[in-house]
Structure 1
Amino acid sequence: MPAHLKSSLLGVSLTLPITNGHFNLGIWQGIYLCEPRDSAGERKLVVTLQGESRPL
């Protein structure tokens, strides 16, 4: 399947709310990595944090 079609169906980014240092997900929500290829190579994960810091 061509990459542009996969990105249209599955998306290319994810936004996760974090509260008190933990993912703020619902009871039935989860995070899954899908690699629809026969021979997957090494991948890099890019994380960008945005928000306010607060004292502990």
Structure 2
Amino acid sequence: MADRLLSHARILELHAAAVSAHLTGSRDALLAGLGPAFVAGLPHARSPAEQILRTSTP
């Protein structure tokens, strides 16, 4: 797992923190600041909470 920046456990912790802080209101807000070409390549999720998880896991 040397190629990963964060462990799966850490990703789940960050996801839980983002959800509990109510940071899941908008996909656009979640992905603000990322390049449009990068965002275009991300899979779309059913909800912003799922988007956080899908975007942060390989």
TM-score normalised by structure 2 residue count = 0.26
Q: Which has the higher helix share?
A: 2
TM-score normalised by structure 1 residue count = 0.27
Higher RCO, 1 vs 2 (CA within 8 Å, ≥6 residues apart): 2
